[in-house]
Amino acid sequence: MSPFFRRGSGRVTPEQAHRLVADGQAVLLDVRETQEWNAGHAPGALHLPLTRLMAGAPLPTAVRGRRVVAICRSGNRSRTAADFLAAVGVEATDVTGGMTAWARQGLPVTGVNGSGGVIA
């Protein structure tokens, strides 16, 4: 198991998350609500709001069997998501500072139509 993926306790920086996803070592799962996602998200991220995850919605097919890096706006919901996923056997971590830190580090953000996005 990678040192980044501890069952519910590991956290990564935005740069580490970007690298893990770019290298194919993990899938980025955005757990923000739909209006936040539509405003701007990391290219290639998958979307499943925390409210739906906690209500029992299945993970997107592309996530199943893969390591997951959860992300939200500031890092609070994604930490909850990573803990929840780890409790059900998924290797998961989350991004410290969330999409706010991601954008602040100059990492790409796209809107729902592929245009430049913002963090809402």
User: Would you name the residues annotated as active-site residues?
Assistant: 72
Q: Which residues of 24-55 are buried (b: 16+ CB within 10 A; e: fewer)?
A: eebbbbbbbbeebbebbbbeebbbbbbeebee
Q: How many residues does the chain have?
A: 120
Residue 20 has a CB neighbour count (10 Å cut-off) of 20
Radius of gyration of the chain (CA): 13
Residue 97 is classified by DSSP as T
CA 54/CA 4 separation, integer angstroms: 23
